[in-house]
Amino acid sequence: MENRYDVIIVGARVAGSSLANWLGRMGKRVLLLDKAGFPSDTLSTHFMSHTKFLEELGVLSQLEDTGLRKIQRMRTYIGESFIEGPRASYTIIPKRDQLDYALLEEARKYPSVTFKSQTTARELLWEGNQVIGLRIEEKGRSYHVYSDLVVGADGKNSNIAHWVQAETYNQTNPLRPVLYGYYKGVRPLQTPTTEIFLHDGRIGFVFPMEEGRDCLGIEIHPDEFKEMMKSPKENFELMFHQFYGMKERMEQAHLESKIIGTPGMPNFFRKAFGNGWALVGDAGHSKDPSTGLGINDAFMQSYLLADAIKEIDEGMTWSEAMQEFEDKRDQQLLPGFQLTLDYIHSLKKWTVNEVALFQSIAANPMVWNKLVPHLGMHLEESTSEFPLFYTAVEMEAETFGYKKD
Ligand SMILES: Cc1cc2nc3c(=O)[nH]c(=O)nc-3n(C[C@H](O)[C@H](O)[C@H](O)COP(=O)(O)OP(=O)(O)OC[C@H]3O[C@@H](n4cnc5c(N)ncnc54)[C@H](O)[C@@H]3O)c2cc1C
């Protein structure tokens, strides 16, 4: 049948295009659709410290060839002092119109993948309690398409999740508003470095993109959002100038386009599958963007779903394979989710004493000489309520030669 596919995917950004890519390799007949046209931007910064998936999806080298800087260092400021070090892996900051389009074009190379832009999913088609397809609207024309599986890769406000009434769990309301913009001409550090400013309970960030262009952003307090958005550029820059060195470094800088703001991202998991449907990306799991994990998490979910479909082809029952998909998803995403919520909940306005002490310590090698031999113990003690955090640091340290006792 002409309108019949193995899998229909609603949403063609990081979750949808990556899934189409993996299913295309398996020769699956895929219909990938999105109400947006491409290339196009979306509400998101784009810090990506996990480049493994980009490589597997075949887009890493072409993204790097566009002139994106490879960022190997991270600097965290408190007051006028900072800590800086190398990261275990490098980071790139591709803009979403660029990243999403590269992923989409790669997926479209597979002959069994059909893509329709400016095409909206309007309603699910059911046979009893089984989803069997969709009614879609393509540039004003409404018609039905059918498949064994309809996947919602349609973002945090997923229509598919809403229509199947997917159960939501571990839910927390948005915690922090985020504002960001693209600036040209910010005076750079000598080596491309991700800069994080922990200031007054806010998180500021400088993400170096191509030479001469940076993504600047701030996670602010919820009660500041309304006032900030009255005059976003002026208020954003006033706040940014409070971060150490940024007033001077922004003297020759100018904003490209405008400051974009959101009151925050919801935090939740949704049931990942049901009869004839599944969810990937933000549709299945969303969280505060402060830890920059959303895009990688979307890839990971698509990878797990493609793997489940492969297992069904190899003889595993549908319900067993899909349950395994959901279990693995939760197992892999829960630690990052908890780390993110803990990070935001424990952000605070430093007291004058805390900042003063940190500054005097930061500039005193004799103190570091005393502290470094005991850092592991201090960290373990102060994160005893939250062992995951310690494990994450240990894992990164292992790449620098750390060996557990
Ligand atoms: C301010 C902010 C900053 C962020 N910063 C980072 C960061 O630095 N690093 C990081 O990893 N993550 C970040 N994230 C998170 C990241 O943006 C998301 O995790 C990611 O976009 C999820 O991708 P997705 O493909 O699941 O959904 P989306 O990117 O939301 O795409 C969903 C697509 O579905 C389409 N769609 C929706 N409904 C329909 C329909 N009915 N019919 C057809 N199409 C439909 C939409 O048009 C859209 O193109 C940030 C998020 C925000 C809000």
pLDDT at res. 49: 83
pLDDT at res. 387: 79
Residue nearest to atom 39 of ligand 1 (CA): 154
> Dihedral of the CA atoms 227, 231, 233, 238 (nearest 10)?
-60
Question: What percentage of residues in the chain have a pLDDT greater than 70?
Answer: 100
Residue to mutate, 8, 38, 43, 45, ligand 1, most ligand atoms under 8 Å from C-beta: 45
> Dihedral of the CA atoms 153, 159, 163, 164 (nearest 10)?
20
Contact (CB, 8 A) for 168 and 269: yes
pLDDT at res. 389: 84
Q: What is the mean pLDDT of residues 322-328?
A: 98
The residues, any chain, with a CB within 8 Å of residue 113's CB and separated by 6 or more, are: 20, 21, 23, 24, 30, 32, 107
pLDDT digits (tens, 9 = 90+) for 104-144: 999 999 999 999 999 999 999 999 999 999 999 998 899 99
- Report residue 206: phi and psi, to 5°: -120, 115
- Report residue 118: phi and psi, to 5°: 45, 40
Q: Looking at the CA of residue 180, tell me the nearest atom of ligand 1.
A: 1
The residues, any chain, with a CB within 8 Å of residue 357's CB and separated by 6 or more, are: none
Handedness of CA 127, 132, 137, 143 (dihedral sign): negative
Report the 3 state secondary structure along 88-141: EEEEECCCHHHHHHHHHHHHHCCCCEEEECCEEEEEEEEECCEEEEEEEEECCE
Q: How confident is the model at residue 241 (pLDDT cuts 50, 70, 90)?
A: very high
Residue 42 has pLDDT above 80, yes or no: yes
pLDDT digits (tens, 9 = 90+) for 143-196: 999 999 999 999 999 999 999 999 999 999 999 999 999 999 999 999 999 999
Q: Looking at the CA of residue 207, tell me the nearest atom of ligand 1.
A: 8
CB atoms within 10 A of CB 386: 14
Residue 32 has pLDDT above 90, yes or no: yes
CA of 220 to the centre of ligand 1 (A): 21
pLDDT at res. 392: 85
Residue nearest to atom 50 of ligand 1 (CA): 44
pLDDT digits (tens, 9 = 90+) for 376-405: 899 889 888 777 888 888 889 999 999 987
- Report residue 82: phi and psi, to 5°: -150, 160
Name the pairing type of β-strands 178-184 and 213-219. antiparallel
pLDDT digits (tens, 9 = 90+) for 55-100: 999 999 999 999 999 999 999 999 999 999 999 999 999 999 999 9
3 state DSSP class of 164 = helix
Contact (CB, 8 A) for 154 and 270: no
Pocket, ligand 1, Cβ cutoff 6 A:
10-11, 13-16, 33-36, 42-47, 120-121, 153-155, 159, 178, 262, 265, 281-283, 289, 292-296, 298
Residue nearest to atom 2 of ligand 1 (CA): 44
CA of 117 to the centre of ligand 1 (A): 16
Q: In 3D, which of 247, 322, 37, 4 has the Cα closest to residue 146?
A: 4
pLDDT digits (tens, 9 = 90+) for 342-365: 999 999 999 999 999 999 999 999
The tokens of 61 are what?
């080298």
Q: What is the mean pLDDT of residues 5-34?
A: 98
pLDDT at res. 193: 97
CATH superfamily, region 4-46+95-173+266-342: FAD/NAD(P)-binding domain (3.50.50.60)
Question: What percentage of residues in the chain have a pLDDT greater than 90?
Answer: 90
The tokens of 95 are what?
């803009």
Residue nearest to atom 44 of ligand 1 (CA): 34
Angstrom distance (rounded) from CA 185 to CA 252: 6
CA of 104 to the centre of ligand 1 (A): 14
Q: What is the mean pLDDT of residues 336-341?
A: 92
CB atoms within 10 A of CB 31: 25
Q: In 3D, which of 289, 318, 324, 285 has the Cα closest to residue 304?
A: 324
Residue to mutate, 142, 154, 209, ligand 1, most ligand atoms under 8 Å from C-beta: 154
pLDDT at res. 365: 96
The tokens of 148 are what?
């064994």
pLDDT at res. 1: 67
Angstrom distance (rounded) from CA 290 to CA 221: 13
Q: Where are the domains of the chain?
A: 4-46+95-173+266-342, 376-405
Contact (CB, 8 A) for 281 and 217: no
Q: What is the mean pLDDT of residues 24-28?
A: 98
Q: Looking at the CA of residue 122, tell me the nearest atom of ligand 1.
A: 41
